[in-house]
Chain A
């Protein structure tokens, strides 16, 4: 039973365009959400996060949107760059526990 779902295994985008990565969750106790980026043979690195009291958080080219009623969040990358090509993981933290649950990831390819 997946609590955090990333239904698109891959996404291909042209350089300069917008990349939109989606994530759905089922556990209503999740109140903190994070996006991580991972290159092959490396550990994931933190990208951006959002608390459930907000619906948007921006950091440079990266913006995360949270729709609590739909239990959905998305990561927007504008403009996309070839260096953004990586696997992106969505993660969520449960307010009643100390765990951090990840989705399966979406592989983003940004083509020049």
Chain B
């Protein structure tokens, strides 16, 4: 049972570089989410999707983009990385809005 898989686990980016954080789930879940966790700040919602082809902004979407072309995948794109984007990123999925969300192991990103 893979669940929610995130790659890479760790990454160091230089300021101005771009990258894509990958997230895939094998549970046929409709809902998918991207969060970032800064120290002492809890989990902040970046973007979410309620199904393939549908995405919506969360609490902190600036500097990020997402797409949802399939049910399984929900990549998060960082354009022009900035030090403020140094964080741990978590992807999650759930079957519906009122069911538990399952989380991936996280991606630790450092922008220098």
The residues of A with any CB-CB pair to B shorter than 8 Å are 6, 9, 31-32, 34, 36, 41-46, 49, 51, 89, 91, 93, 95, 97-105
A100 and B93 CA atoms in complex are apart in Å by 11
Shortest CB distance B85–A (Å): 19
Which one, A31, A49, A102, contacts B43 given CB within 8 A? A102
* Residue in A32, A41, A42, A100 whose Cβ sees the most chain B Cβ within 10 Å: A100
B97 touches A32 (CB 8 A): yes
Separation of A45 and B35 alpha carbons in the complex (Å): 14
User: Which residues, 81 to 103 on B, are CB-close (under 8 Å) to A?
Assistant: 90, 92, 94, 97-98, 100-103
Interface size of B in residues (CB-CB distance below 8 Å)? 28
Structural contact, B100 and A43, CB atoms closer than 8 A? no
Q: Which residues of B contact A6 (CB under 8 A)?
A: 42
Q: Which residue of A lies closest to B38 (CB)?
A: A104
**Out of A32, A95, A100, which one reaches B33, CB within 8 Å?**
A100
How far apart are the CA atoms of A102 and B60 in the complex, in Å? 13
Task: Write the chain B residue with the least CB distance to A43.
Answer: B103
A34 & B100 in contact (Cβ 8 Å cutoff):
yes
Provide a sorted-by-A list of 19 A–B residue pairs whose CB atoms are within 8 angstroms.
Answer: A32-B97, A34-B100, A42-B105, A43-B103, A44-B90, A44-B103, A46-B101, A98-B31, A98-B48, A98-B56, A100-B33, A100-B45, A100-B101, A101-B45, A102-B35, A102-B42, A102-B43, A102-B45, A103-B42
* Complex alpha-carbon distance, A43 and B98, angstroms: 20
Q: Please, which residues of chain A bring their CB within 8 A of the CB of B35?
A: 102
Which residues 20-53 in B have Cβ within 8 Å of A in the complex? Answer: 31, 33, 35, 40-45, 48-50
Q: Which of B31, B90, B97, B104 has the most CB of A within 10 A?
A: B97
